[in-house]
Amino acid sequence: MTLINSARLHLPDFAPGSVWLVGAGPGDPGLLSALALHALDHADSVIYDALVDRRILDLARPGATLEYAGKRGGRPSPSQPDISARLIRLARDGHRVLRLKGGDPCVFGRGGEEALALAAARVPFRIVPGITAGIGGLAYAGIPVTHRDIASAVTFVTGHERGGAVPEGVDWRAIALGSPVIVLYMALSHLDHIAARLIAAGRSPSEPVAIISKATTAAQSVVVASLEDAAARAAAARIEAPTIIVIGEVVRLRATLNWLTAGETEASG
């Protein structure tokens, strides 16, 4: 039995020899798009990343081959050129290749790099957007990404660059001054450093921050703190990766809008 009725939804054919770069969303299978379900129904090969939820992989067509392309048990992950070469190989062998990534494939997900490699190899591909952690994770924490009057701009920024350092290419001062809401990906280990830079550039030390761990999964947890103590509070709570971090006055709305765990008491605020 298939997951969805693709004819009623007028979905395109997943042609043999093509690659679909699909966002699986942050975790909750309910956040998959119709195109993602259609791809899971028809893929011959599924090449997935570390952040793709197990419950989503379980939706793949029973005959599909699942291949993991990420870090595991401390072993180095396959290099990006290796992954792209693998996608091209499978497509040339006539497979319907589903490249499944957490969140959105093109938000800090290297979807663009893989698409460029496919384009260069003249392998037909499609990009299926997914719900990125910086939007879906906030929604599941009861935090609107933007809000009229208090937040008319938002910046998605990575807290981690290729080598693992705080990204020097990021103009933290400009972000501090120009973006009322800042959503940080891959930033937990550099949060103290990033917060100090934002405060030095004029953000209030008491501005609220939410650190959302394992967003949209059954293990989601949220720590709310202030900019100056967020890193220490996250460490004290032993919060686990992956985490999405949001800085801004919108975080205060969680007190009223936390629909997911409404009624539960929260040790950390």
Contact residues for ligand SAH, defined by CB under 6 A? 26-27, 51, 101-104, 107-109, 132-133, 137, 185-186, 212, 214-216, 242-244
The residue from 28, 53, 101, 186 that is catalytic is: 186
The answer to whether 93 is a known catalytic residue is: no
Nearest to ligand SAH of 122, 238 (CB atom): 238
The answer to whether 1 is a known catalytic residue is: no
Q: 78: helix, coil or strand?
A: coil
d(CA 160, CA 226): 21
**Nearest-CB residue for ligand SAH:** 103
Q: In what order do the strands lie in the sheet with 19-23?
A: 65-68, 45-48, 97-101, 19-23, 125-128
Find where tokens 């971090």 sit: 245
Q: How far is the CB of 27 from ligand SAH (least distance, A)?
A: 4
Find where tokens 């934002």 sit: 198
Nearest to ligand SAH of 13, 58 (CB atom): 58
**Side-chain half-sphere CA neighbours of 11 within 13 A:** 21
The answer to whether 214 is a known catalytic residue is: no
Q: How far is the CB of 164 from ligand SAH (least distance, A)?
A: 12
Nearest to ligand SAH of 6, 244 (CB atom): 244
- Altogether, the residues listed in the chain come to a count of 269
Q: Which active-site residues does the annotation give?
A: 49, 71, 186
